[in-house]
Amino acid sequence: MVVELISVGTEILMGNIVNTNAAYLAEQCNVMGLVCYYQTTVGDNEKRLTETIKTAMSRADLIILSGGLGPTKDDLTKEICAKVCKKELVEDKASKEAIKDFFQKRGKKPTENNWKQAMVPKGCIVLDNPNGTAPGIIMEEEKNTLILLPGPPNELVPMFADKVIPYLKSKQEAVMVSQTVKIVGVGESSVAAQIDDLFEKQTNPTIATYAKVGEVHLRVTARAEDEKKARKLLKPMIKELKNRFSEHVFTTDPDVTLEQSIVDLLVDNDLTVSTVESCTGGLVAGRLINVPGVSEVFKMGHITYSNKAKRKIIGVKRSTLDKYGAVSEQVAAEMAKGGFGMTKADVTVSVTGIAGPDGGTAEKPVGLVYIGCCVKGKVTVKKYNFSGSRAKIREATVSAALVLMRECVLAYVSEMAFGKKK
Amino acid sequence: MVVELISVGTEILMGNIVNTNAAYLAEQCNVMGLVCYYQTTVGDNEKRLTETIKTAMSRADLIILSGGLGPTKDDLTKEICAKVCKKELVEDKASKEAIKDFFQKRGKKPTENNWKQAMVPKGCIVLDNPNGTAPGIIMEEEKNTLILLPGPPNELVPMFADKVIPYLKSKQEAVMVSQTVKIVGVGESSVAAQIDDLFEKQTNPTIATYAKVGEVHLRVTARAEDEKKARKLLKPMIKELKNRFSEHVFTTDPDVTLEQSIVDLLVDNDLTVSTVESCTGGLVAGRLINVPGVSEVFKMGHITYSNKAKRKIIGVKRSTLDKYGAVSEQVAAEMAKGGFGMTKADVTVSVTGIAGPDGGTAEKPVGLVYIGCCVKGKVTVKKYNFSGSRAKIREATVSAALVLMRECVLAYVSEMAFGKKK
């Protein structure tokens, strides 16, 4: 089945906002095995929107429109879809009630133009919107299906996930099931080289590679007549990928982030953590604290951007700073060890580096970063050379710090297990 | 002049990446007064790409294409543009040299297919690419101008900024000059209401509103025959907006961020800063440390996520935590005051809140946040109720912490100035 995406909105045409809806919808459609050849953005203009919808209907089976369902006169998506498909607009009682409720809960009164949002093309499927006042709409026409979604991502995403995906799946003869093998510590091209043979002969399941900052995700998708059979097809491929990338795989759950997997690892092994950051200035701790329930393991964090703070808070020696400089293996080690002693956490991660744009030298260029990790007194330090803007270097550093931390904790855990076995 | 954007790439169609190029190009075109009616994304497919280019040429003066300039056979943008415009491809010596250099600098050898990137449509303007191997191309045809840009944003953005914008400006009879009035501490709708009269009668200069997290940006654009005249037109409007929003305006420079303006304010007034964070877990410090040169003013930061850390590091009283709870005005105040005493910074900002998704109660719901700021011993605490996901709440909190910090520092500075006058 061929799908086409139409984003409606002047804000996108003028570059006021980035079109994250299109990326989300495209990825979800791709997971379901729908093929997308075109994505178009067009403004709230009757002539151009009509033409865009007609063109899409001539070349795709399914058209997903987002935006233009608001209460103002400028919002035309629903009206034009109805006109193109020769449907009249009728009032939907449930939507009217929902709009009433929505305003009541917020202690506000709907204005007259809000009722426009309760009008829907005759015979359509209405998708209620718990996060806003514009219901979603599915129009099943002779040759095409049109799906109209509200523009705000916090309305569009849950509506698509909760209502549109089940609808589309119910229309498919085959079921598609995906799992994502998330890998750290191996570069994208190395991952690609290691699965080249699998890639070559892939039919069902298929593999798609996604590079994220510091991570590579392999999404494996199987197609079968029911979910059980699809899962059965997935299993050997997931097993094979886990074998090939062994400890570099941190999860196969699409919803689990790297920081979540690290917090889980710490919780499972009853380990606490603290951070001592210089150039990342709190962002490593900030990523860990993304995880709800991190309070079980996170003891405290320190941001020691200046040399004085490194000495005063963490006890880095003045002589070490003088001899090796703040961005050095030795200082990273003393930061990790000092933080470990001071915070009494089982694991302490430390970061010191030159994020730029200034401050680099021939010997210590911008992008040079040392990351330390102390687990129960044992310190590991690694050297990195990142490139790009200050923001890029800091982002890469945060990711590398999490990866190093994970490696050190895994090494400690396996050492303990080995020790016990002896 | 009407512009149309065409993004070429399967990664966008499949949702692997978000199309930030389109947003960047759209905004830049809009600033220059170019009108954009359509943005299209299409894959590396000869038939569909040809059709998309022809359609764009039939309805726009200027077509900007991004992506599909790589060295592989799949990369077709240049070949198809040449074919549509009936131009042959010829080798560009300078591009060939640049490709050779690019690889040499990295200690690598170009492969045979890299030389494809040195081929350009006969008679075009070649834009050299210091960040990659694909040169940009401008084709001035009879009725249209086509601009071909490489897909990676770190190549596209500098090429557009450094080469395409000057080119396009040189073609315009009128000069457009913009300035951005950036506002904090006033909501978007309130800003809109306060400039309704200016908005109504706007002709030249024009005003456009952009809502960012915690900020509202007003971009004012004037059009005149030369830059000097355009700046003269801008001046009274900028003055008027500064008058209306007075201390809420933190900059009129498009490149200055909120954190930059705060660091400048601290530097100018010889004040140092420290942070004590709970739910934001280092992100407030992380934002401040975005600013190169922050080391002049940033003393240190502490992440006191647990109650124990709040007591141990910052000296929040156990009795205060027991009586009022960790998320309370009193604890925020003790965190700010304690951090101030401990770090000996002139300004200390503190954050405590419930970021969710769990941990909320009827009395203290998810999204409840207290932010404290201590300037030279004087503590201010404000209460906030944010909504949305854990990430949204934390992002809004970071922004609010910066805004409160700015307010408190400004109040201190004006008090000092007033004191001196007396």
**Tens digits of residue pLDDT in B119-164:** 999 999 999 998 889 999 999 999 999 999 999 898 999 999 999 9
**B280–A303 C-beta distance less than 8 A:** no
Using a 10 angstrom Cβ sphere, with 0-12 exposed, 13-18 middle and 19 or more buried, the burial of residue B417 is exposed
Question: Residue B419 above 80 pLDDT?
Answer: no
Least confident of A27-41, B50-64, B99-113, B360-374: B99-113
Q: Tell me the pLDDT band of A225, cut-offs 50, 70 and 90.
A: confident
**A358–B13 C-beta distance less than 8 A:** no
Using alpha carbons, list the distances in angstroms from residue A339 to A255, A276, A351, B34. 31, 6, 11, 55
Chain A nearest C-alpha distance from B419 (Å): 33
Q: Tell me the pLDDT band of A161, cut-offs 50, 70 and 90.
A: very high
Whole-number pLDDT of residue B118? 95
Whole-number pLDDT of residue A421? 58
Q: Residue B243: CB partners within 8 Å, gap ≥ 6? A: none
**Whole-prediction pTM value?**
0.82
Nearest CA in chain A to B356: A292
Using alpha carbons, list the distances in angstroms from residue A184 to A251, A289, A375, B168, B344. 10, 20, 20, 43, 40
Chain B nearest C-alpha distance from A281 (Å): 5
Whole-number pLDDT of residue A367? 94
Architecture of domain A175-251: 2-Layer Sandwich (3.30)
Whole-number pLDDT of residue A110? 83
Whole-number pLDDT of residue A132? 87
Nearest CA in chain A to B345: A309
**B28–A16 C-beta distance less than 8 A:** no
CATH classification of A258-421 is 3.90.950.20, yes or no? yes
| CA neighbor of A398 nearest in space, from A358, A351, A359 | A351
Chain B nearest C-alpha distance from A90 (Å): 31
Q: Which residues pair with B125 in a beta bridge?
A: B138
Nearest CA in chain B to A28: B15
**Tens digits of residue pLDDT in B12-51:** 998 888 999 999 999 999 888 899 999 999 998 999 999 9
Name every chain A residue with its beta carbon within 8 A of the beta carbon of B394: 289-290
Q: Which residues pair with A302 in a beta bridge?
A: A276, B302
Q: Residue B189: CB partners within 8 Å, gap ≥ 6? A: none
Whole-number pLDDT of residue B83? 97
Nearest Cβ partner for A285 among B281, B306, B313? B281
State the span(s) of chain B assigned CATH 3.40.980.10: 2-171
Measured CA to CA, the distance from residue A228 to residue A214 in angstroms comes to 33
Task: Find the largest Cα–Cα distance for chain A.
Answer: 81
User: What is the mean pLDDT of the segment spanning A359-378?
Assistant: 95
CB B43 within 8 A of CB A237: no
Q: Residue B100: CB partners within 8 Å, gap ≥ 6? A: B110
Question: Residue A419 above 80 pLDDT?
Answer: no
Among A5, A7, A19, A131, pick the best mutation site for testing chain B contact (most B Cβ within 10 A): A19
Q: Tell me the pLDDT band of A420, cut-offs 50, 70 and 90.
A: low
What residue type is assigned to position B206 of the chain?
T
**A24–B38 C-beta distance less than 8 A:** no
**Tens digits of residue pLDDT in A84-135:** 999 999 999 999 999 999 888 877 788 888 899 999 999 999 999 988 899 9
Query: B417 in helix, strand or coil?
Result: helix
CB A99 within 8 A of CB A106: no
The pair of structure tokens assigned to B199 is: 């908005």
Question: Residue B309 above 70 pLDDT?
Answer: yes
Whole-number pLDDT of residue A422? 52
Long-range contacts formed by A241-250: CB under 8 A, 24+ apart: A241/A181, A241/A195, A241/A198, A242/A181, A244/A194, A244/A195, A245/A181, A245/A183, A245/A186, A245/A191, A245/A194, A247/A410, A248/A183, A248/A184, A248/A185, A248/A186, A249/A181, A249/A182, A249/A183, A250/A182, A250/A183, A250/A184, A250/A406
Measured CA to CA, the distance from residue A230 to residue B124 in angstroms comes to 52
State the span(s) of chain A assigned CATH 3.90.950.20: 258-421
What ipTM did this prediction achieve?
A: 0.81
Measured CA to CA, the distance from residue B303 to residue A301 in angstroms comes to 4
Measured CA to CA, the distance from residue A49 to residue A36 in angstroms comes to 19
**A279–B286 C-beta distance less than 8 A:** no
Q: Tell me the pLDDT band of B418, cut-offs 50, 70 and 90.
A: confident
Measured CA to CA, the distance from residue A404 to residue A381 in angstroms comes to 9
Measured CA to CA, the distance from residue A139 to residue A118 in angstroms comes to 16
CB B397 within 8 A of CB B366: no
Ramachandran area for residue A120 (φ above 0: left; ψ -120 to 50: alpha; else beta): beta
How far does Cα B348 stand from its chain's mean position? Answer: 26
Q: Tell me the pLDDT band of B350, cut-offs 50, 70 and 90.
A: very high
User: What is the mean pLDDT of the segment spanning A145-164?
Assistant: 95
Rg (CA), chain B: 27
Name every chain B residue with its beta carbon within 8 A of the beta carbon of A28: 15
Q: Residue B386: CB partners within 8 Å, gap ≥ 6? A: B353, B367, B369, B392, B393, B396, B397, B400
Name every chain B residue with its beta carbon within 8 A of the beta carbon of A11: none
Nearest CA in chain B to A33: B14
**B37–A15 C-beta distance less than 8 A:** no
Candidates 3.40.50.300, 3.40.980.10, 3.30.70.260, 3.40.50.2300; correct CATH number of B2-171?
Answer: 3.40.980.10
Question: Residue A31 above 90 pLDDT?
Answer: no
Whole-number pLDDT of residue A240? 97
Whole-number pLDDT of residue B294? 93
Residue with more model confidence, B221 or A258: A258
Question: Residue B422 above 70 pLDDT?
Answer: no
**A30–B38 C-beta distance less than 8 A:** no
Whole-number pLDDT of residue B176? 82
Nearest Cβ partner for A26 among B13, B208, B281? B13
Question: Which DSSP helix (H) or strand (E) runs through B222?
Answer: strand B215-224
Report residue B195: phi and psi, to 5°.
Answer: -120, 15
CB B175 within 8 A of CB B226: yes
The pair of structure tokens assigned to A244 is: 């090939």
Chain B nearest C-alpha distance from A262 (Å): 16
Chain A nearest C-alpha distance from B418 (Å): 33
